[in-house]
């Protein structure tokens, strides 16, 4: 029945947008045509239509296309209407003040965690994250929290699919990820230790709705000097308190216990420096 009302050109246009969403620096017409298996002539018409309507913008310098202002505007309006975001914001602000670190709120979409709110600590190093950014679930604090505490059907498929690898610390093996998620469930929080970007860490905790289902995750992110080994358990407890308050606000009856201070997910590594961060 769904195929009966499918419009091929609309489907292809949406596929182009989804493909560009996965690209950090944009793609050329040839790249898009080849990756989607669509003739270059048809791809050209679709891209030009999206460009003239403001949904895409092209660069004359390198011939690549990326999202236009109209699409970004629509995205922001959709996020503004998220009830979750509005209800969580006061608690996220409080967590930022208590920790002095950048706070993120994210939801799970496919194998990625999508940031729907960011509260940046004033005067601190600005992190390379923004509302709408997609993070690989296997290498982010919010992502691992969402996978670990979500339903079996949510995280099981991720254990068999190829996973992105950002550096030597990234957990990209299904066996290692399964083991990591078991640790996360035991501790009550996810700890991302330079797995997305060298020099940065984050701590994520799940948020539950009125049906006691995991609907989002909250995290704090900072440099390795801000989130030192001896601060992890204490910071995790603050994040768990925030997650519990947001969950209660949403009507959840899940009891979020304090973080387990007897164990940590910290691994022995030599100190390294980084230039950007992923939550």
Cα–Cα distance measured from residue 101 to residue 235, given in angstroms and rounded to the nearest whole number: 10
Instruction: Give me the half-sphere count of Cα atoms (radius 13 Å) on the Cβ side of residue 56.
Output: 26
Q: Indicate the burial class of 183 (C-beta count within 10 angstroms; 0-12, 13-18, 19 or more).
A: middle
| Banded model confidence at residue 159, pLDDT cuts 50, 70, 90 | low
Cα–Cα distance measured from residue 72 to residue 56, given in angstroms and rounded to the nearest whole number: 10
| CATH architecture of the domain covering 82-249 | 2-Layer Sandwich (3.30)
* Alpha carbon distances (Å) from 76 to 79, 82, 89, 107, 263: 5, 10, 15, 15, 39
pLDDT digits 0-9 by tens, 140-154: 899 999 999 986 555
pLDDT digits 0-9 by tens, 168-226: 878 878 888 888 999 999 999 999 988 878 888 999 999 998 888 899 999 999 999 99
Cα–Cα distance measured from residue 165 to residue 85, given in angstroms and rounded to the nearest whole number: 30
pLDDT score for 271: 41
Q: For residues 18-40, b (16+ Cβ closer than 10 Å) or e, as one string?
A: eebeeeeebbebebbbeebebee
Same fold: 3-72 with 82-249: no
pLDDT digits 0-9 by tens, 48-99: 999 998 889 898 889 999 888 777 767 766 665 567 888 999 999 999 999 9
pTM over 0.75: no
- Which residue would you say has higher pLDDT here, 44 or 257? 44
pLDDT score for 160: 56
Domain coordinates of the chain in residue numbers?
3-72, 82-249
Class of domain 3-72: mainly alpha
pLDDT score for 80: 54
Which residues are registered as beta bridge partners of 135?
A: 113
């Amino acid at each position: 029945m769904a195929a009966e009302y499918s419009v091929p050109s609309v489907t292809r246009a949406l596929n182009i947008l989804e493909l560009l969403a996965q690209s950090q620096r944009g793609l050329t017409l040839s790249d898009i045509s080849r990756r989607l298996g669509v003739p270059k002539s048809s791809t050209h018409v679709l891209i030009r239509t999206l460009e003239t309507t403001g949904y895409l913008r092209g660069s004359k310098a390198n011939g690549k296309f990326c999202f236009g202002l109209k699409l970004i505007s629509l995205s922001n309006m959709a996020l503004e209407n998220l009830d979750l975001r509005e209800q969580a914001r006061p608690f996220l602000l409080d967590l930022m003040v208590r920790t002095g670190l950048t706070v993120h709120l994210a939801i799970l979409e496919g194998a990625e965690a999508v940031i729907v709110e960011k509260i940046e600590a004033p005067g601190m190093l600005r992190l390379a994250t923004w509302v709408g950014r997609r993070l690989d679930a296997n290498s982010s604090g919010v992502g691992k929290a969402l996978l670990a505490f979500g339903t079996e059907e949510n995280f099981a498929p991720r254990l068999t699919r190829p996973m992105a690898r950002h550096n030597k610390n990234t957990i990209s093996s299904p066996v290692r990820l399964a083991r990591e998620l078991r640790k996360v469930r035991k501790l009550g929080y996810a700890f991302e230790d330079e797995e997305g970007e060298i020099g940065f860490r984050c701590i994520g905790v799940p948020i539950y709705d009125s049906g006691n289902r995991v609907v989002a995750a909250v995290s704090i992110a900072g440099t390795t000097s801000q989130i030192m080994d001896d601060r992890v358990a204490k910071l995790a407890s603050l994040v768990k308190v925030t997650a519990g308050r947001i969950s209660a606000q949403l009507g959840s009856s899940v009891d979020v216990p304090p973080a387990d201070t007897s164990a940590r997910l910290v691994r022995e590594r030599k100190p390294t420096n980084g230039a950007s961060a992923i939550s």
